[in-house]
Amino acid sequence: MRRRPPVFRPVTFAVGAVLAGALAACSAASTTSTTSSTRSTGGADNPAVAADPSLTAAPPASFAPTTITLLAHDSFAVSKSVLAAFEARTGITVTVVTGGDAGQVVNKAVLEAGAPEGDVLFGVDNTLLSRAVDAGIFAPYKPAGLAQVRPDLTALVSGSTGYAVVPVDYGDVCVNIDDRWFAAKGIAPPKTLADLADPTYKGLLVVENPATSSTGLAFMLATVARYGTAGWTGYWDKLVANDVKVDDGWTEAYEGDFSDGGKNGPRPLVVSYASSPPAEIVYATDPKPTHPNSSVMTGGCFRQVEFVGVLKGTRHEQAARAFVDFMLSQPFQQDEPLSMFVDPSVLGTPLPDVFTKWAANPPDSLTLPPAEITANRDTWIDDWTQAVLH
């Protein structure tokens, strides 16, 4: 049984020559920060950018029959009825082309910069954001709906990115706990990253390789954010000594090695998502359980944010802008939690009961500036490989 679709898919990290200059220019001091889960209203603004009328010009409400192409990662999903209503209202037909994981989609868009195969790109996240923006693949657009997006998310796009993209959703990568296993053993489950290195939990944790999995990358970045550039590899030395297991991707780890996964594996701790418990109920066969068997360790989660942007060079820029507006509209935002198991970016969006009841809401998710991730990601992955796999 599939418990939670891996919305943020494993990413590839090949960087073409077109990015060499941008990556060389990216540098930042290591900055550890946390993102509060508190919901509020309004958004940050950059007056100089906001003053550009070309960024804020709203598209028409309807179009002559027009077809646009949405490029997205393999886990993009929207209910057919929601998309059909947008198409009927606007006259825009949307062709969805999925191209592998988020990293593959971004890399291909970079190679096609200025002459894109699509009109809109969805799925670039904060671990890839600076790479995509620095490569110039997006045509900036600041939709009116951005004012209703969480301020901590708009802050990622209002400054140096110049509204190149718009935040659509967010989620947290966290350690998931098999509650039944711990109850049967009479062991208290871990609460923090530090706990995972305690001998009590030796041989219990399975993680994903950050070189091949965005879930694994997010967990590695959580350790960088928590322990700093001088201490994070030392933390991984402790996990290795505590017999951590490394799998290539989320499916292998969750469905294979996790004791509450599809194959009832041997490890009761796995790096997954804060939204995995409600997915466990939604994807269960009838009669569905009323309570998930797993819970979430909310200490040490890493916040992932997904964005959408109009591709520079599109021949249908106004229709592409209309689709971006649609992704911030209530029909799409309300559809996201049970279509992609992510939190909507727009404040006040109603959540389904199963999501509200069982999806964890980490009080202080860890994060790092996108530019710092871009500047250091490959080096950090190399350092992780040396510490963990050699």
Per-residue pLDDT of the chain (390 residues; tens, 9 = 90+): 233 444 433 333 332 332 233 323 333 333 455 665 543 333 333 333 344 566 777 788 888 899 999 999 988 999 999 999 999 999 999 999 998 778 888 889 999 999 999 999 999 999 889 889 999 999 999 999 999 999 999 998 876 567 999 999 999 999 999 999 999 999 999 999 999 999 999 999 999 999 888 889 999 999 999 999 999 999 999 999 999 999 998 889 999 999 999 888 999 999 999 999 999 999 999 999 999 999 999 999 999 999 999 999 999 999 999 999 999 999 999 999 999 999 999 999 999 999 999 999 999 999 999 989 999 999 999 999 999 998
Q: What is the pLDDT of residue 292?
A: 95
* CA 127 to chain CA mean position, Å: 8
Specify which residues 234 forms β-bridges with. none
E strand or H helix at 250: helix 250-250
Q: Distance between CA 350 and CA 370 in Å, rounded?
A: 29
E strands present in the chain: 33-36, 66-72, 92-98, 120-125, 138-139, 166-178, 205-208, 245-247, 269-273, 294-311, 343-344, 364-367
Q: What is the pLDDT of residue 15?
A: 29
- Same fold yes or no, 28-35+42-171+304-356 and 172-303+374-388: yes
Show me where the domains of the chain are located.
28-35+42-171+304-356, 172-303+374-388
Q: Distance between CA 110 and CA 116 in Å, rounded?
A: 9
Helices (H), 272-364: 276-282, 317-327, 330-339, 353-358
Cβ–Cβ under 8 Å, residues 46 and 140: no
Specify which residues 96 forms β-bridges with. 70
pTM of the predicted structure, to 2 decimals: 0.83
Contacts of 364 (CB under 8 A, 6+ apart): 34, 35, 36, 37
Contacts of 322 (CB under 8 A, 6+ apart): 59, 60, 63, 90, 92
Assign domain 28-35+42-171+304-356 to a CATH class: alpha beta
Q: What is the pLDDT of residue 101?
A: 78
Please give the structure tokens belonging to residue 316: 């249908």
Q: Quote the CATH superfamily of domain 172-303+374-388.
A: Periplasmic binding protein-like II (3.40.190.10)
Of the candidates 201, 172, 116, 186, the residue with the CA atom closest to the CA atom of residue 305: 172
Q: Distance between CA 121 and CA 164 in Å, rounded?
A: 11
